[in-house]
């Protein structure tokens, strides 16, 4: 179906887009099975979007730290090549699995999480972003994986880098145990980290 037809289905399904945003263009596919009484329906299914735009939402700006690493400038809209999710929804909330989002300007984002009945988000994600000169300076070329969290409310999502995850996996992988202090400081600076006292 055209994405516009799917958009019309979002309010009855109690699905909230970020405030001030809307989907424009592209195609959508939804396969959903409903079970249980009407007063407590459960839904299991999959949704996929292709070649659409989330108008009025700057994903790059929300992912400002990752944006620096990818080396691209934000835009008032987010161009989406593909978005696919699997979900299980009940009146108590929704479990979302196998999220895959391809944004040409940024890279590929995937992960999983939950949406509560009051639209509170709790997602653990990772972005395979296109490397920029910042990463090239510390010896990384091609794409690099950056873990992050999505929290807050669906109408106003908050994106936070998983600094501990980056330190535990990305830095270790990039350096193979040989990443120097200067490179560590570069990554700390990108994510707003503070240098240890006396450094």
Structure tokens at 111: 């992960």
pLDDT tens column, 165-199: 766 665 566 555 554 444 445 455 444 455 444 44
Distance CA 49, CA 102 (A): 10
Top mean pLDDT of 1-5, 11-15, 51-55, 161-165 is at 51-55
Phi and psi at residue 112, to the nearest 5°: -160, 165
How many residues does this entry show for the chain?
199
In a domain, 196, yes or no: no
Question: How many C-beta atoms surround the C-beta of residue 98 within 10 A?
Answer: 12
Q: Report, as an integer, the average pLDDT of 138-159.
A: 79
Question: How many C-beta atoms surround the C-beta of residue 51 within 10 A?
Answer: 12
Residue 82 has pLDDT above 50, yes or no: yes
- Using the Cα atoms of residue 54, residue 2, residue 89 and residue 97 in order, give the sign of their dihedral: negative
Based on the structure, what is the number of domains in the chain?
1
In a domain, 197, yes or no: no
In a domain, 47, yes or no: yes
Higher pLDDT, 169 or 6: 6
Q: What is the pLDDT of residue 107?
A: 83
User: Cβ distance 127 to 145 under 8 Å?
Assistant: yes
Distance CA 187, CA 199 (A): 15
- Which helix or strand (DSSP H or E) is residue 154 part of? none
In a domain, 126, yes or no: yes
In a domain, 195, yes or no: no
In a domain, 40, yes or no: yes
Q: Report, as an integer, the average pLDDT of 134-141.
A: 47
Residue 19: domain span: 3-190
In a domain, 84, yes or no: yes
In a domain, 198, yes or no: no
**Could you give the percent of the chain with pLDDT greater than 70?**
70
Q: What is the pLDDT of residue 131?
A: 57
Residue 69 has pLDDT above 70, yes or no: no
Q: What is the pLDDT of residue 74?
A: 67
pLDDT tens column, 90-127: 999 999 999 999 998 788 999 999 999 999 999 999 98
């Amino acid at each position: 179906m055209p994405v516009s037809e799917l958009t019309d289905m979002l309010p009855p399904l109690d699905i909230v887009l970020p405030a001030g945003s809307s989907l424009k263009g592209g195609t959508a596919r939804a396969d959903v099975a409903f079970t249980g009484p009407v007063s407590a329906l459960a839904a299991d299914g999959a949704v996929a979007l292709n070649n659409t735009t989330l108008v009025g939402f700057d994903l790059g700006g929300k992912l400002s730290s990752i944006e620096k690493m990818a080396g691209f400038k934000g835009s008032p809209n987010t161009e989406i090549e593909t978005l696919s999710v699997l979900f299980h929804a009940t009146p108590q909330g929704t479990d979302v699995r196998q999220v895959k989002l391809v944004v040409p300007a940024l890279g590929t984002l995937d992960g999983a999480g939950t949406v509560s009945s009051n639209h509170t988000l709790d997602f653990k994600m990772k972005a395979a972003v296109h490397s920029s000169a910042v990463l090239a300076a510390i010896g990384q070329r091609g794409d690099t994986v950056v873990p992050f969290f999505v929290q807050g409310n669906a109408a106003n999502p908050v994106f936070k880098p998983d600094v501990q995850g980056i330190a535990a996996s990305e830095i270790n992988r990039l350096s193979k145990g040989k990443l120097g202090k200067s490179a560590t400081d570069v990554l700390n600076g990108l994510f707003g980290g503070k240098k240890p006292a006396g450094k």
